[in-house]
Amino acid sequence: MIAPIDATHDPARPCWVVGAVGHRDFPIQNLPLGIFSAGDERRGGIAIGDFVLDLRALAASRLLDGPAQAAAEAASGPTLNPLLGLGSVPRLALRRRVSELLSEREQRGRVAPLLHAAADCVLHLPAAIGDYTDFYAGIHHASNVGRLFRPDNPLLPNYKYVPIGYHGRASSVRSSDTGVVRPVGQRKPPEAAVPLFGPTQRLDYELEMGAWIGPGNDLGSPIAIGEAEGHVAGLCLLNDWSARDIQAWEYQPLGPFLAKSFATTVSPWIVTAEALAPFRIAQPPRPASEPAPLPHLFDAEDQARGAYAIRLEAALLTANMRASGLPSHPLSSGQMSAMYWTIAQLVAHHASNGCNLRPGDLLGTGTISAPTPDGYGSLLEITNGGATPLALPNGETRSFLQDGDEVILTAHAEAEGFATIGFGPCRGTILPARA
């Protein structure tokens, strides 16, 4: 069941936190969950404007009761896994009570001491990730990449029947602003007689969304498509860094390995399923000539409200641009609704064989590209496989990422009649390869 729209989404809801009303990412209508530290132990927090509400302190404040109190207590430790495992009822109760506390001016004296300036906080991964799976649900990206290698048949025959995915490396997932060391590996340029070993020459980013799993399922017990929404706690931004030359050499026959396991970057806040309720939209219909989803992947409500009205953007800031005080250069802008499969379909298919998902597991959507070049979600697409370098305003060009380049992903959920909410940036800067 999709979360309800209630008073917490009211665009006119007041908030006494300075700067929170109309905040670009974290107005009172958002209230995302994360893990922070302020020179001390890690614990759960809620972003509000340019501040972080301390959930451990809130749990001790006697301002909560019932399920809201249980949720705050579960979020008082160094990861949100205990809270994610509780499901939507305590999470919704916490959201509603925090929304009241931050909107009622008479509560300011009791709640203001529980706020930390975000500038004084360090943000961490919101959960201990047991497993990370990356899908390939962006059909325009899949078509564009396939066209580079198979011009006459870009999509493989299974693409429109099964959500394609692979198991990624959970240990190398990092929060935003963590540097990305250029990976080394085997690659075989066309002119080379034997493979070479060294730093990748074709380092790329991939603009994705991530879905955080809440309650899991027992091993051997599939998740029905109609119940899949209840297993999704919320979303984040995700950058699936990719070494294209290493990937091209190693991916057959078992798929990506070292080309992607060196780093994945996520935005540190979980924008909850409850916060995203007003931004649910219909999944774009498939052409009549394409196959309908198989029964284990079809649910009428999911088709009616299973997609999201979320605008995605990517930008590049090179070392030279940074040194010159220039702003980042926009790379692309598109909509999350360009996905061929819904988040619920990804969850249901993942568990359809009885695979057990657990609280804090992370699913990547795969690169989300628009149908047109202004919305391509990777340099591989933007530069036509490197053949057409991107011209930057300062005279630099890029086919793929160079050391010192910073990729900045942003996303905002937008719907008429509701306050826009954001995810915060997902940033990563390329560091030189290590000997």
Termini Cα distance of the chain: 51
Distance of CA 146 to the CA centre of its chain: 24
> Going by DSSP bridges, is the β-strand pair 196-199/122-124 parallel, antiparallel, or unpaired?
unpaired
Judge whether 141 counts as a catalytic residue.
yes
Q: How far apart are CA 377 and CA 124, in angstroms?
A: 25
Task: Give the Å distances, CA to CA, from 184 to 38, 119, 434.
Answer: 35, 34, 8
The two most distant CA atoms of the chain are separated, in Å, by 74
Choose the catalytic residue: 9, 140, 141, 231.
141
DSSP string, 108-167: HHHHGGGEEEGGG-EEE-SS--S-EEEE--BHHHHHHHHHHH-TT--S-TTTTTS--EEE
Backbone angles phi, psi at 180, to 5 degrees: -115, 110
What tokens appear for 151 in the block? Answer: 């011009």
Residue written as tokens 């009549």?
288
Q: Count each helix (H run) and each strand (E run) in the chain, helices first.
A: 11, 27
Convert 131-141 to b/e letters by CB count within 10 Å (16 or more is b).
bbbbbbbbbbb
* Spatial distance between the Cα atoms of 413 and 423, rounded to a whole number of angstroms: 9
Q: What is the DSSP string of 41-68?
A: --EEEEEETTEEEEHHHHHTTT---HHH
Torsion from C-alpha of 143, 422, 407, 124, nearest 10 degrees = -120
Residues recognised as catalytic: 141
